[in-house]
Structure 1
Amino acid sequence: MESPVLQPPVATVKTVGKTGVLLVNLGTPDSPSVPDVRKYLREFLMDGRVIDIPYIQRFFLINGIIAPFRAPKSAKVYKQLWSETGSPLKYYGNVVERELQHVLGNDYVVKLAMRYQSPSIQAGLDEFQQLGLRDIVVVPFFPQYASASTGSVYEKVMDIVKSWQVIPAVRFINRFLEHPKFIEGFVQLGRKYMTTYEYDHIIFSYHGLPERQITKGDVAHTVCQFGTCCESFHAQNQHCYRAQCFETTRLLVRELGIPEGKYTTCFQSRLGRTPWIKPYTDDVIRELGAKGIKSVLAFSPSFVADCLETTIEVGVEYKELFEASGGKHWQLVESLNDNPLWIETLVDLVKTA
């Protein structure tokens, strides 16, 4: 009789340590005062990925022209945005931090950070380093990848951790525009308005970028044409910010059942005289007014929390422009903010990073 073959014991892997989750949004001034706004603008615009011109030119442009002259005007607008809870971008960031920590549980340490100003990425990573975490997941709050947003977060995080003696596994979320729950969150918000009013047109307005930054991203120099190249989403253009925005619109349009010809993808918040990606939102609004469009529902799907660019630029300034162009009814769809579907999206992103 043969002896039974003994199987080696099954090894039990014990999880050691916790996972750090760094949630990173763009940033906001510490207050709407002129000095705090000027400080924020200087840090933000001096980032070489935001204004990608040589350092000396950028230094004199920002510190000699833009920050001194723009800060007082921007401070007035920030005062419109501010509430008793402060900046909505930071307020909702803090709420999401708490909610995500609660859902993920004790195996995770969740921290909110801002790419510019406070709470800083440096402070969040310093705390993670002291805790001796097993690994770190960095979640930039930008649905579509761009060098000036997600890329800047990557660079800042890597610049900090490169000096650590012990560097844990660091994982980055690149984009999440295709995530079903992210899409469903905006779909639910949009339907809330579409079921109570029949809008003549739907606008999907995304933050703009200089065309030169899109061209730089086309490393093969074979894809980007600022036109038909964004009509589909594929391996060759998947890293292009403009293409990602058009794909986001297609996903939302499909779920919302919006027919062709009744919606427009466009880009806002341009700065300076160099060409930015088109079409420009303000030009689209004027054209809609000239065509006799009287009611518009406006989405801002490049922002996950309400901020200056959504509440004021799209919600107030574009509303005034639309009415001046002959329109009657303009409605902004709010951002995801602390929507439960946004929390669920983040849970999925962290656990499958």
Structure 2
Amino acid sequence: MAPRARIGILLLNFGGPETPSDVRPFLRHLFADPEVVRLPAIIRVPLARLLAGIRYRQSREYYRQIGGGSPIRRITERQGEALKRALQQWGYDVGVYIGMQCWHPFIAEAVERIIEDGVTHLVVFPLFPQFSFTTTGACLAKLRREVQRRTDWPVKQQVTIEHWHAEPRYIEALSQMIEEVLSDFAAEAGSRVHLLFSAHSIPQRYVDEGDPYVEQTRETVERIMDRLGRQNPYHLAFQSRLGPVRWVSPYTDRVIQQLGREGVRHLLVIPISFVSEHIETLYEMDILYRETARRAGITDFRRVAAPNTHPAFIGALAHLIRERLAAFDVTSSLAHPGD
């Protein structure tokens, strides 16, 4: 009798420091990543130490203002638990693994657990709706390197969900979350509420080299607006730029300032490339951009929460995974890793 399949779901994300003492080593990992900083190792590694030292105090202060650290690991764990429950309703008993690019649990730690559990069928799911060399590409490259180092990799079949920016259920989930917040605005605001979709920026040269991130992000926004069927003005901007290189624009803070100058008073900010709360939403959007809006004369500033474990969002991800699991043709021979 053939051994039962052991199915795993590997969720990949960027990670973040959980305590003040984590900030400096997290920054070193971030700047030393060859997929993030494309320089030879002999330059990249010492540069990472230098940059981490320069940015440490400022970054630690930002994290202090949101509670001392990033909640991304805890939220990703809750997302994994919710996905596991959703898949169980369809008869799939899976093990869920979390691998982070720049902090614990690192991708290497997830690989070790997958080996220990003897996973035979694996769905790799980078939690970045839009593909970029700097996010999905970086995580998948790290995963490949870690797997190639091992001679005991047990996975026989593997599928990867590389992007899902236009998946109908994902669009529906975000649209539902936007509608929930739009309904909180005063009725007289109506179509005067401007929608500002804010995505993490990337260096412009990556786009010039063929990175599809910006194009996919624009498609996500257009599909959401089509689904909403509203006449509200909307904008796409990019945040979290770093250093002197040219980043994809327009920049979120400058768009907010311009809207204020144009007399906009009602603004809804929507995190469009983030699936969980992190420094970019909790500090940049909720603190920095809220203050930018206040100074610009925008009196009614609101934000849509990151999807986190919103039921419609989890349902969308679960359907994506289910479609890939169907390709394994193992529904009659499931075993939870560790059985």
- Are 1:143 and 2:115 counterparts? no
Question: Could you tell me how far apart the structure 2 residues matched to 1:243 and 1:324 are?
Answer: 31
Q: Secondary structure at the match of 2:254?
A: helix
How far the C-alpha of 1:107 sits from its partner, in A, is 3.1
- Are 1:302 and 2:273 counterparts? yes
Question: Could you tell me how far apart the structure 2 residues matched to 1:191 and 1:293 are?
Answer: 20
Question: Could you tell me how far apart the structure 1 residues matched to 2:2 and 2:166 are?
Answer: 34
Aligned with residue 163 of structure 2, among 175, 178, 183: 175
Question: Could you tell me how far apart the structure 1 residues matched to 2:219 and 2:5 are?
Answer: 38
Aligned with residue 244 of structure 1, among 216, 231, 235: 216
After TM superposition, the structure 1 = structure 2 runs for residues 304-319 of structure 1, keeping only pairs within 5 Å, are 304-319=275-290
* Bigger-Rg structure (1/2): 1
Structure 2: which amino acid aligns with 1:75? R
How far the C-alpha of 1:125 sits from its partner, in A, is 1.5
For residue 199 of structure 2, what is the aligned residue in structure 1?
A: 206
TM-score (norm 1): 0.84
- Are 1:89 and 2:72 counterparts? yes
How far the C-alpha of 1:304 sits from its partner, in A, is 0.5
For residue 76 of structure 1, what is the aligned residue in structure 2?
A: 61
Higher relative contact order (CA 8 A, sep 6+): 2
The answer (yes or no) to whether the contact 1:207–1:267 under 8 Å persists in 2 is yes
The answer (yes or no) to whether the contact 1:19–1:108 under 8 Å persists in 2 is yes
What runs of 5+ residues in structure 2 fail to find an aligned partner? 325-339
TM-score (norm 2): 0.87
Which whole-Å deviations, capped at 9, do the CAs of 1:171-194 have from their partners, x for residues lacking one?
211111112222122111111121
How far the C-alpha of 1:152 sits from its partner, in A, is 0.8
Which whole-Å deviations, capped at 9, do the CAs of 1:17-68 have from their partners, x for residues lacking one?
211111111101131x1x310100110121122122333443343212x211
Distance 1:104 1:282, change over 3 A: same
The answer (yes or no) to whether the contact 2:87–2:322 under 8 Å persists in 1 is no
Aligned with residue 30 of structure 1, among 18, 22, 27: 18
Q: Secondary structure at the match of 1:72?
A: helix
Cα RMSD, aligned residues only: 1.9
For residue 329 of structure 1, what is the aligned residue in structure 2?
A: 300
What runs of 5+ residues in structure 1 fail to find an aligned partner? 1-12, 218-238
How far the C-alpha of 1:248 sits from its partner, in A, is 0.8
How far the C-alpha of 1:15 sits from its partner, in A, is 7.2
Structure 1: which amino acid aligns with 2:17? P
Q: Secondary structure at the match of 1:137?
A: strand
Question: Identity over aligned residues, as a percent?
Answer: 30
How far the C-alpha of 1:14 sits from its partner, in A, is 6.5
The answer (yes or no) to whether the contact 2:97–2:114 under 8 Å persists in 1 is no
Structure 2: which amino acid aligns with 1:200? V
Which whole-Å deviations, capped at 9, do the CAs of 1:101-144 have from their partners, x for residues lacking one?
22323631112222111112112211111222221111111000
The answer (yes or no) to whether the contact 2:260–2:296 under 8 Å persists in 1 is yes
- Are 1:342 and 2:328 counterparts? no
